[in-house]
Amino acid sequence: MTSTDKQRIHWHVTNDTSNMPGVQVRVHSVDGPSICSRRISSRKTFGYSPIMAAVSMPELLADLRAETGELLAMVRPLDDTGWAAPTPAEGWAVRDQVSHLAWFDDAATTAVADPDAFRESRAALLARGDGAVDELVAADRSLTPAQVLEWFDAARGRMTTALGEVDARARLPWYGPDMSAASFVTARLMETWAHGQDVADALGVTRVPTTRLRHIARLGVMAFPYGFAMRGLPVPEHPVRVELTAPDETEWALGEGDDVIRGPMLDFCLVVTQRGHLADTALQVRGDTAHAWMSVAQAFAGPPGKGRSPGGRRSIRPV
């Protein structure tokens, strides 16, 4: 992975229910100011389905806490060697994945508690250029694994407590456009799962997929236009139908048309977070638009990353 690949997961595309007719594509990346600001319709491509309805804030926070618990269960028992294990993100060890999450959890708490202070700190971070995220991680390597673990545990607790006190529809600033608190929690859950996958791959840990993947799948679908827009490609208007099977065997379908993406929800989430290559999944892709989407898909905002190569590691056990 390049430096951009490591940064990518926290530059988040808006997916508010209030924006259902389209996706707001506007990003502040670490290498400069907003690089794309326009609304791209996804209604033509997917239509509307009740599956897109926002879940409750308590449910989102409960799922975020559960995802956090899974990550902590992987890293708490580690010795120094385990914390230093390299992950698929080039140059990043397990400890770097965890400190990265902790740093942005603290930033998230500031965004909730003091939006003006967050905006000031955001401007300072963006001014540092495209090496900012690597610099943040490097600065924290003086911490012991125990200190990183304590930091993440405390930062995650502060963040979830703060988010639990705001209305799901409240607008919060982040490293792109402001978003609802519900979308904010969804983004943090997605980041936790994706970075947790990096940790699992580094440790050879087999993770069992859960129904929490529905949040990431929803985000991935809503981000359909984004992968095209960030590559300067026209956003297709040809409809695509997404048919996914959740880990509990629930069938999840959205959209209509003869272009179809069908298969395990787990595999779809791996592709849209670029934690797995399409060739290594059981997804069935039919139609030119569907194939084009899967080649550029990203549920994260910011510059495209190169993702995983075919034949890469995958430490998740399908159900």
pLDDT in tens, 259-302: 999 999 999 999 999 999 999 999 999 999 999 999 999 887 56
Q: Do 178 and 83 belong together in one domain? A: yes
Q: Do 174 and 61 belong together in one domain? A: yes
Of the candidates 174, 272, 188, 259, the one whose C-alpha atom is nearest the C-alpha of residue 222 is 272
Q: Which amino acid is at 88?
A: P
- Residue 316's pLDDT band, with cuts at 50, 70 and 90, is low
DSSP string, 164-232: TTS-TT-EE--SSS-EEHHHHHHHHHHHHHHHHHHHHHHHTPPBPP-TTHHHHHHHHHHTHHHHHHHTT
Coil vs helix vs strand at 308: coil
DSSP string, 14-48: P--GGGTTEEEEEEE-TTSSEEEEEEEE-HHHH--
Q: Show the tokens assigned to 72.
A: 């902590």
Rounded Cα–Cα distance for residues 227 and 84 (Å): 33
Of the candidates 242, 243, 224, 220, the one whose C-alpha atom is nearest the C-alpha of residue 292 is 224
Coil vs helix vs strand at 262: strand
What single-letter DSSP state applies at residue 55? P
Whole-model pTM? 0.83
**Domain with 167 in it: what CATH number?**
1.20.120.450
In a domain, 311, yes or no: no
Q: Do 228 and 283 belong together in one domain? A: yes
Judge whether residue 48 has pLDDT over 90: no
**DSSP bridge pairs for 86:** 93
In a domain, 310, yes or no: no
pLDDT in tens, 124-179: 998 888 788 889 999 999 999 999 999 999 999 999 999 999 999 999 999 877 88
Q: Residue written as tokens 């707001």?
A: 24
In a domain, 307, yes or no: no
98, 222 contact by CB (below 8 A): no
Q: Do 165 and 73 belong together in one domain? A: yes
Non-local CB neighbours of 270 within 8 Å, separated by 6+ positions: 197, 276, 281, 314, 316
The widest CA-to-CA distance across the chain, in whole angstroms, is: 54
Q: What is the pLDDT of residue 313?
A: 54
Rounded Cα–Cα distance for residues 307 and 286 (Å): 22
Q: Do 136 and 229 belong together in one domain? A: no
Q: Do 142 and 179 belong together in one domain? A: yes
Number of domains within the chain: 2
Rounded Cα–Cα distance for residues 317 and 160 (Å): 28
Q: Do 39 and 106 belong together in one domain? A: no
**DSSP bridge pairs for 207:** 316
